[in-house]
Chain A
Amino acid sequence: MIGFSALKSGALAAAVGLAALSAPAIAQNVIRVGVLVPISGPASYFGVQGKEGVALALEQINRGNGINGIKLDVQFEDSACSPLQATNTVKRVLEQFKPHIVVGEECSDASLAIAPILEQAKVPMLNAGSAANQLTESGYKYVFRIFPNAAQQGVPLGRNAYTKLGARTAVLLHVKTNAGVDNADGFAKEFEAAGGKILARIDFAQDVNDFTPIATRIAALGKVDVLPTFALEGQQVRLSQALAQARVVKGGGGTGIQMGSIWLPWGFEAKAGQASQGYIRIVQFDPTEKRKMVTDFIDAFRAKYGADKTPTHINAHAYDTMLLIAEAVRRGARDSESIRDRFSKMRDVEVTTGKITFDAKGQNSDMSVIHFVETQADLSWKGLNW
């Protein structure tokens, strides 16, 4: 019986913890925003940057009188990029913080896991980091996404590779995650439909470090026109360097052109060095853009986090989520239902990563700011006007 009494006292301790943690102050004139980001584990790469963007926006929005007297109250929670942790965390946030809206998650797996829970709770979910198409293709009414989905990323790459670059052969490189597979599929479908040929599709786990064997294999395939690559910054730097060393891509004196998506942050070229020369990629958040919204954001970001820092697209997307919520409040939203309503009616709302117009599925359909750039010999960008 000792064991059972221990079990009981454990439950009691947990209950005491529960009482201490629950019951947030119900304040008027506050819109509560639950932010679910991975703060532990390797995916904290996203969480740390997301927090920076949200914190900056929050500071600006809540300054003085807030939004006509209304302020945003944000609570960060670690959802660890995992479906189990994210579902537990979202339940916790829903009952203890009672948010009017939830922002998150970064990883597609976790976002797809929490979407049905928020849908059932009738709390809008604003996503700014998951690419899996399914998130906005499942018929959810409360899910909104400002991040371009995999089709919006992969398809233009495939089309332009064929039409603008005249590419006929491609080797697909992608990390083996939900978003990586979806992006690669988008490219392959478009490129093959146009008449291009995929010579090889090489996927790799997130813990692969040395890409020399992969580069060697590609070098042995003969001439490859384009190498669309979908992986995060850390692996991409190593991958580009290996491809250059094997003389596959332009950066190493080869003829292949590496292509990439918005996954890469500003500063990638400086890290990859000469290997990134000739790399063509989609940019959504462009720190060199002269739009006032962008320059103001960069100035404020540097003032808060250090003059040597340049915000990444992850910082910018997180910042934009807060701007959008503030905009909904400015348009009269006061609870979950009205936030959802204002979101669904938004047309051409300007944020740092472009303009937001949600389609019937909750996906931002305005991709006017997305543009292609090519890395020059001095590692600067040249706009391609595609």
Chain B
Amino acid sequence: MSDFLALILQQSINGIYLGCLYVLVALGLTLIYGVMNQINFAHADFVTVGAFAAFFSATRLFTKWMGMSDGTGYVLSIFMALAAGALLGLLVNAAVFAPLRNRSDELRPLIATIGVSVLLENAQLILFGPIPFQFDSPFAQNTIRFGKIFFSEQSVLVVIVAALAIGGLYSFMKFTFLGKALRAVSQDRETAGLMGINENFLIALTIVIASALAGMAGALLGPVIVLTPFAGASVIVKAFAIVIIGGFGNMEGTIIAGILVGIIEAFTVQYLGSGVIDLVVFVLLLFMLVVKPTGLIAERREENV
């Protein structure tokens, strides 16, 4: 394989891995938007909480106190992060989304979640301090090599978990009664009411699933990012861009857009410089909005465009 081809392949692999991480963060955002037409600005902080939950369960609870191996401890910690995210989602739904639930009002929940975000970020700052925690997944340091091409075991794990999460979410939406009800709510609230399902329950469920996904993303990002109370903020702006490029509320679009942004980032670093990643991503975003405002995959929700 020529050096050039190897480079292209390597950066593509880097990009896909990065993209999968972005997809995990963006999925929750798009899910909440799809069902409720609302933006959870504190989503980034849910990711951070998940990362810390995973960190403490992987490096303390499962390994030091329960005597498991590092590998098992880390894999189990992903579920702890999932649970932490779900719990946080339940709380924020009860405190913010449920009291403010009114479909036409998109601003007040946004501002309320900004408040939640400031609160969570600074509460974690008090609890954990600003000095980065060293979260080493046992898989991050093991590198798989094929000739010049390399990737870490962690990236394989990330791709597998992302695929499982997407597959699970997709089958839930497509094949279960609750999933169908969720899709019904996202399209028409009254019909859902006619299906005899409590709308409040469905909305709580959406937020819990979305938050659990954010928590899980935190567990997988933990060994990649600089783990501080501000960690989630570093990916959230890109996650917003991905959700839009993919078409707000559109799962397939979000997945494709996430991986696309990851690849764009890798090639921007290669050919333009890492200082302009955000510039490239957001110029692409505005370009997409001009050319195809419905997102990568055409969508039904006419009212937004």
Contact = CB atoms under 8 A, between A and B. Distances in A.
Chain A interface, >50% SS class: helix
Interface string A144-185: 000000000000000000000000000000001000000000
A212 B14 contact: yes
A214 B274 contact: yes
A242 B11 CA distance: 13
Contacts of B132: 45, 233-234, 237
B200 interface: no
Interface in A340-355: none
B228 A234 contact: yes
Contacts of B227: 234
B115 interface: no
A234 B226 contact: yes
A220 interface: yes
Contact of B278 (A42, A205, A220, A241): A205
A89 interface: no
B71 interface: no
A207 interface: yes
Interface stretch (B33-41, B122-130, B283-291, B292-300): B122-130
Given A44-B125, A237-B134, A216 B7 contact: yes
Residue of B17, B18, B132, B265 most packed against chain A (CB within 10 A): B132
B79 interface: no
Contacts of B129: 48
B143 interface: yes
Contacts of A338: none
A337 interface: no
A245 B150 contact: yes
A205 B129 CA distance: 22
Contacts of A207: 233-234
Given A48-B130, A48-B131, A245-B152, A203 B233 contact: no
A217 B269 contact: yes
B134 A45 contact: no
A119 interface: no
A271 B134 contact: yes
A234 B129 CA distance: 13
Interface centre among B129, B134, B269 (most CB of A within 10 A): B269
A213 B226 contact: no
Nearest to A173: B274
B266 A213 contact: yes
Q: Among A42, A45, A241, find the residue whose CB has the most chain B CB atoms closer than 10 A.
A: A42
Interface of A: 40-45, 47-49, 176, 202-205, 207-210, 212-214, 216-217, 220, 233-235, 237-238, 241, 245-247, 271, 273
